Amino acid sequence: MWRVHLDRPDGARWAPLLSAQERARAAALADPVERRRFTVAHGVLRAVLGRLGGVPPAGLVFGAEDNGRPYLVGHPIDFNLSRSEEWALIGVAPPGLRVGVDVERVRHNLDHLAMARHLYQPAEVDHLTRAASPVEGYFRFWCAKEAYVKAVGVGLAGLRDTLVTPEGNATVGSSRSLRWLDVAPGYAGAVVTTAVTTVSTPAPRTG
């Protein structure tokens, strides 16, 4: 796992690693802060995958599955990227495994219980109504669900069918391991792998 702070002073140095398509996507962002965050997130992703795959970062080629999930062309390692405001998570899994990650800024200006009743299963809603912090609980569950559907590649339509238990290191579905992550104050995060294995979480890296 890599935890990446996107509001960093060296943001411009990651731009040369991006593909022409990624640079065009960044240029299309009107907000300069979002443009920098996009550039850093995708530049660091390329640096990480290039180092692990033994390929120059700028030479990496990405493809997309039918559901839009990206993959690295010509290399069996699996990866996933998520970003929310100033933080990003990058998950990488060895050949034969798939990984999904999600990070979300905890926002208090939403009707979380109403949204949960629409998107979550009854057992999850019941837990949130009794939780000490239902807002944080909502986002923890959301990150777990999002990471799950990204790992298995079923798309957002699978969010409602995913049951998350409140315990950490829980199992979601069949042979899928969930771990919640402490990203930063005010953020929730989760990683899901497609086999029940120990998720390696070394000290966070920023590049």
Measured distance CA(150)–CA(71) in Å, rounded: 12
Query: Considering the domain boundaries, does residue 43 fall inside one?
Result: yes
Residue 103: which CATH number? Answer: 3.90.470.20
Contact 89, 1 (CB under 8 A): yes
What is the pTM for the complete model shown? Answer: 0.86
Query: Considering the domain boundaries, does residue 198 fall inside one?
Result: no
3-state secondary structure of 10: coil
Report the DSSP beta bridge partners of residue 149.
none
Q: Which domain holds residue 93?
A: 2-193
Residues in contact with 127: Cβ distance below 8 Å, sequence separation at least 6, in sequence order: 137, 166
Number of structural domains the chain divides into: 1
pLDDT tens sequence for the chain (207 residues) = 999 999 988 888 999 999 999 999 999 999 999 999 999 999 999 999 999 999 999 999 999 988 888 999 999 999 999 999 999 999 999 988 999 999 999 998 888 888 888 888 888 889 888 888 889 989 998 998 889 888 887 766 666 666 676 654 445 555 578 888 999 999 999 999 886 444 444 344 444
